[in-house]
Copies of this chain bind each other. A is one copy, B any other.
Amino acid sequence: MGKYGEEGDKLLFKILNSGDFLAKADPHSLSEKNSVKITSQISEKGLRYDLTVPFARFVVQHQNEITFPFKRYQIQPVWRADRPQKGRYREFFQCDVDVVGSNSLMNEVELIQIVDDVYQALNIQVLVKMNNRKILSGIAEIIGAADKIVDITVAIDKLDKIGIEKVNEELEQKGLPREAVDQLQPIINLTGTNQEKIATLKTVFAHSEVGLKGVEEIETVFAYLASLDISTEVELDLTLARGLNYYTGAIFEVKALDVQIGSITGGGRYDDLTGIFGLKDVSGVGISFGADRIYDVMNQLDLYPKESIVSTQLLFVNFGEKEALYSLKNLQKIRKAGINAELYPDAAKMKKQMTYANKKAIAFVAMAGEDEMNQGKLTLKNMTTGEQQLLTVEEVINVIA
């Protein structure tokens, strides 16, 4: 609690203490039904909310054993006590990659390379959106509202969802003067190529040191990317802010181009995440792939290879105890050759066993009765052509492998 902001505290699943959990609860809060006060008295544990904060704790705890810069990936489920809906789950898998203990922008470049590799391998067309928190700070600075940076980023983050007018309303509600909101407009709606945006920002930020620093950082990353073999488009998007308060540099978000769904990967740089665990000034940059949304995208685009669902290549028909034993010995050899094979466990009717083979789309069926056993062979049936052959087990392996 307290690591993910007020919203995070609400969305964190809390585990009820074991045993007589009410014994130590404050009677007054109980009779008042004060859920907020009682929570900490009856719950000491929670479900993992993300992988970044646990990672920060790990780094602090093992700072003397770790070699910095420290790189790690981590794949685990996380939980959010949110209302479930399409693309939003209460339990989902995050796949995180982080580098801690290096300020180099090379890390940002490498993370984008990873994004490029992953989505090329999965055959998903994506767009990487990039921004820099320093650019957002520069914007706040030039409109004279540096203390409103969090409010501005939270509001801008909603541009896609609620539109420019509602964003402006929200900004005014947060106490931003009308003229500051007006000044924000051209910046939020900045268009053109990355180079054009960067050129405009340099002029706008003539008097904002932090803004210029942000532009310089993003320019460096783009320069590296331009000379590398990266096929994914990377776009500077000033509306990209993300809700998280801890980013201090780069901000990333990845959108699938062919499916309407929230971001499928996101991340950024945080200059002082380990600070909450007592280790100051250690910079980290990372991204998190949302496995479940990626799964949704792949399902919707039908990208799973058909071969990936074939489990059994060969089925041994079961004719009875003696035949099953003979089949089992051959089965062992065939499995050792790397072929997925199984013996129908019961001596059921032939039709039932064949139905099983058909339903599971098994390509070959092996039969061993009195004749085959006498000759030390197997009858192999190709379920597509219907063709049958009397073969040794080695020949069977050669046909299927």
Contacts and interface: CB of A to CB of B under 8 A. Distances in A.
Contacts of A13: 15-16, 18, 45
Interface string A236-247: 000000000000
A106 B325 CA distance: 9
Contact of A67 (B16, B81, B102, B356): B356
B67 A359 contact: yes
A39 B16 contact: yes
Contacts of A324: 106
A228 B346 contact: no
B35 A21 contact: yes
A25 B109 CA distance: 53
Contacts of A332: 113, 228-229
Contacts of A229: 329, 332
A160 interface: no
Contacts of A342: 71
A99 B196 CA distance: 62
Interface in A323-347: 324-325, 328-329, 332, 342-346
A38 interface: yes
A16 B20 CA distance: 15
Interface string A1-28: 0000000001001111011111101010
A34 interface: yes
Interface in A298-343: 318, 324-325, 328-329, 332, 342-343
A260 interface: no
B15 A35 contact: no
Contacts of A356: 67, 69
Interface in A224-266: 224, 227-229
Interface in A17-73: 18-23, 25, 27, 30-31, 33-35, 38-39, 42-43, 45, 47, 67, 69, 71
Given A30-B31, A332-B229, A15 B343 contact: no
A67 B355 CA distance: 9
Contact of A106 (B42, B110, B328): B328
A107 interface: yes
Contact of A33 (B22, B113, B343): B22
User: Which of A15, A77, A332 is packed against the most chain B CB atoms within 10 Å?
Assistant: A15
User: Which of A39, A106, A229, A346 is packed against the most chain B CB atoms within 10 Å?
Assistant: A106
A35 B21 CA distance: 6
A208 interface: no
B329 A227 contact: yes
A389 interface: no
B21 A102 contact: no
B325 A224 contact: yes
Interface in A91-137: 99, 102-104, 106-107, 109-110, 113
A33 B35 contact: no
A346 B104 contact: yes
B329 A228 contact: yes
The 5 A-B residue pairs whose C-beta atoms are closest, nearest first, are A104-B345, A22-B33, A67-B359, A14-B16, A102-B345
26 contacts: A14-B15, A15-B16, A16-B42, A19-B35, A20-B33, A22-B33, A22-B38, A23-B35, A25-B33, A27-B31, A27-B33, A67-B360, A69-B346, A69-B356, A102-B345, A104-B318, A104-B345, A104-B346, A106-B318, A106-B324, A106-B346, A224-B325, A224-B328, A227-B328, A227-B329, A228-B328
